[in-house]
Amino acid sequence: MDVPEGAKFIFFVVPVFLVSIGLIYFFFKNDSSDEGLNSIDKQIQEAEEISGSQSNTEDIDFEEFKIETIEEGEGKEAEAGDEVSVHYIGTLKDGTKFDSSYDRGEPFTFTIGIGQVIQGWDQGIVGMKVGEKRILEIPSELGYGEAGQGSIPRNAGLIFETELVSINSGN
């Protein structure tokens, strides 16, 4: 008995179509659209947690800018417009060192207050005297902020151990 070509197609496609509809119904029958969206939100949240994405930055950032003088210096205080040379060690809040002028064997030189450095440095070096050592705890908004920089993650608070080596008055 010969079955016409069109009949073969119908006998094959119709059952496949019906099985597909049944499977779709089975998978989604207990899932209202709100529950589906909640499930998607939950999966996104879990993925962010797994990938280390941090919506809360309290573990890596500081709430406020702090200056602690650990050794007094002598002479004139550094002020905006002065070119200064500073030795430093830069670390993240967790203690990871990301930079050090001591490792390079020479201090870093910049002019205070003209945007050559992060705002935390412009604010934290003002008032230092030659030989003075300070620890600066710099919140991310006065550091590299949302962008981060090199090995410094975004929204990271920074700790700098600084030592003012020299002041070359700009005035």
Reading the block at residue 78, the tokens are 């550094």
Query: Looking up tokens 């910049």, which residue turns up?
Result: 110
Distance, CA of 97 to CA of 147 (rounded, Å): 19
Give catalytic status of residue 98 as yes or no.
yes
Task: Check if the beta carbon of residue 60 is closer than 8 Å to that of residue 94.
Answer: yes
Q: Which of 118, 138, 159, 167 is catalytic?
A: 118
Give catalytic status of residue 118 as yes or no.
yes
Reading the block at residue 20, the tokens are 């597909």
Distance, CA of 100 to CA of 150 (rounded, Å): 14
Give catalytic status of residue 88 as yes or no.
yes
Give catalytic status of residue 65 as yes or no.
no
CA angle centred on 98, ends 122 and 49, rounded to 5°:
105
Q: Which of 61, 62, 159, 160 is catalytic?
A: 160
Q: Which of 62, 99, 125, 167 is catalytic?
A: 99
Give catalytic status of residue 9 as yes or no.
no
Give catalytic status of residue 34 as yes or no.
no
Q: Which of 144, 152, 159, 167 is catalytic?
A: 144
Q: Which of 65, 89, 98, 135 is catalytic?
A: 98
Q: Which of 82, 88, 125, 159 is catalytic?
A: 88
Which active-site residues does the annotation give? Answer: 88, 98-99, 118, 144, 160
